[in-house]
Amino acid sequence: MIKISPSILTADFTRLGDTLDMLIDAGVDMLHIDVMDGLFVPNISIGLPVLESINKRYDIALDVHLMIDRPHRYIENFVKAGADIISFHLEAGSDVAKTIDLIKSCGAKASLAIKPATPAKAVFEYIDMLDMVLVMSVEPGFGGQSYMPMAEGKISEIRSEAERRGADIDIQVDGGIDKTTCEYVKTAGANILVAGSAILKSDTPKLLISHMKENI
């Protein structure tokens, strides 16, 4: 089953409530919250107060992507604020296994994210511990970037390794996902698609989301 997790990174934050109402009415499965600290990536975005506010108003899964340095320091805070899924980066300087355990002990699903330059095999040793792997198809830090096709090979490798191990994990892909590129990543084995600009700039977001959710 294909799920859609729209990023709100490129939303007009003066009208965020209206945007979230539209996305939920259009049939999205969860909301993708990008958190950046200006250290791990060269940008700063939203944090705990926005997550808490969204969680209080909306009954929908909150998919939090931590693009921050040493993310283990903030896991408990983000779960308390409403995170249902937490993705943290393998490259971010935290002990990966301990951070996965911490996320799960706090009651959230654990996801490991990798940048475009990180090989798929880097996540293999953690697959049995994870609920999800997030493959970046752009450099993390900014919305609206162009899709990197090399993500497809990594998605396929991770899906094959998960199946070999009998691990029932989700594979999420984030970056440059639109009406065309969604077909490539679904074919490769991704089942959760993060799309921001494509949906938020669409004149017919409900139709686009319906198209993206179609199985290959």
- CB-CB contact of 143 with 153 (8 Å): no
CA gap 28, 66 in Å, rounded: 21
CA gap 28, 24 in Å, rounded: 6
Q: Which residues participate in catalysis according to the annotation?
A: 34, 174
- CB-CB contact of 103 with 113 (8 Å): no
- CB-CB contact of 184 with 176 (8 Å): no
What single DSSP character describes residue 140?
T
Helix (H, G, I), strand (E, B) or coil at 65: strand
- CB-CB contact of 216 with 191 (8 Å): no
Helix (H, G, I), strand (E, B) or coil at 173: strand
Residues 6+ away with beta carbon under 8 Å from 204: none
- CB-CB contact of 116 with 141 (8 Å): no
